[in-house]
Structure 1
């Protein structure tokens, strides 16, 4: 009798999951396993609940196939090795990933397991991270060149869902019994609805911060509740949206080649970032006195999500107007964003900070001009900054009387002075 272990990490789905499909192929019994690592830094309650909902949903899907999700807690490597020993596993399957944490986990599993160990690099992205490389280099550092090859590359076919999974007797906690917005079922409903009703207007609406013009599928992609490949194949009516999936793959291939880029400057600029706890606290709380910046930061705290254009604005404000370290901003995002992903979060922050792959590293996004262009009626600001909901010019509250500002703070920095300070520091 052949027994395999299918180790779920951030691929919490049964459809188009090459790891699960390979584990089930030709095996008499499969242990679908997820290990909670207690040493991983604590996240927001909303982010933790989304994970619980996703685990609950994949457990329900596995039960429809005759199986269940086996949940363990502790050191992931020790628990995987322990389960493999308990069931006499012939093979252990896992999705490859690009973070230093995932790399270390893979190396330890390769050393600790006594059975065959199979890593699948085609689970998280449309194109595997190390597959496309320029001549003489290990990764693309410019998106446009990467995108040309990505777009021309033949994508793999979707893999079929296992028809049945039989789980041997093995101890493990029950998966969380919660329902909500997380999980594969919710992801597929959102994908189907968005592709049917909003995909064609993505190009016109995706930058307008007050409009629900984006897919909001990023949390599902982060936890693998949805196949990036399937989404790319089905998104033919929204080529600009599919381009964003290419950006996602681009960041994964950069981090695959440079794992240190999660925490170290990809392209050092000699920055000597300022220490200003007051300014950083004001930024985190959405109390900077710059309405579109504060709206974005308050949306993050309220929803665990932020519009992508707002992410660019608040990140530019932190790193280039306040001249504070991008790592502090990335850590705050990572703790609160439901879609917080090491590759995308860190490398997008580096792109904005000018230490990453941006070909114009010293560009500064003026938040007032961004607001004029992408929130022309101040709807986004009024939604998330209620102090300004009743004023005519919510974009410039410092021109109002103290009473009219309704307790909203004055700007903590002059935008022109902040820009000049950054450019002088960069030289």
Structure 2
């Protein structure tokens, strides 16, 4: 058994359940997968959001899979949710990544509820379970620095912002976002809040024309004058430096996001092996397959460590450093594995109908999530040298 197969066997949760077992999220996703796969090429070719797949995820109970059971949800933990997203990615990259953005917005308050007894998160989690809400993340806009403008008005804040890379925006219910209050008493502060996508002051801009992950519906969202009431502000923090919440976000969100990319690499590997088996065999092709499996195994091992950290560690600078090192390794080795998959498949892999070139384009998105290569290396170096990392992000 190859290292890749052995690790997949250890981490697989997609076995067929017995009649008395409750199926896991990954097992449910496996049943939905063939329909997702059938729609993947069309979504990619036409920049079409995978709306039907999200409806299927809702109907199957996966939208609230990460909500704690005592709040009405499925009670799935990080390990189970990562397995679910990997399984979805085996069939449709765009569905997996856009659903990961919702899933991590559920998993973060779920972690705070279970580990910190954070009562303020309960109403949101209950609504996700009861109303099957889809939560949106604008991570491209709302990393540590924040973006947009919050202006103090009577009873709240008027928001003006343009949020980019808002995956699943055509079907989202609440945008979990923030804006910068420049005139805060102690200096510029970032306010965190939810914005209903049905607000008259919220407009979806048709901007998502991208190299890969074309079906994610990651359009820009324009917020032009929406007023967030004072009681709707979940957090106020100093702009431009790490806050404890962001260490939680790093620990919980990135194993989920990169589970999608790992699944893309696994799907590419399987396609490449099937295609290479039809080629005239040579030592060169055999070596390409071996190098591909080696790169993929490295990505799997790094991701398994991310999951372990999320399940067992305490959030903080050291944990964020370990998570981000692993995030860099997953990205590096997953991208390398897919590059080798395309080469191993030969010229046939260059045709769109083979599906490999789409996976090659989709995996490139792994480069662009925080923390990207430069800041991540700076952060890791500073941790190693005992230097301040509070403004490195």
Structure 2 length as normaliser, TM-score? 0.29
Larger helix share, 1 or 2: 2
Larger strand share, 1 or 2: 2
Structure 1 length as normaliser, TM-score? 0.28
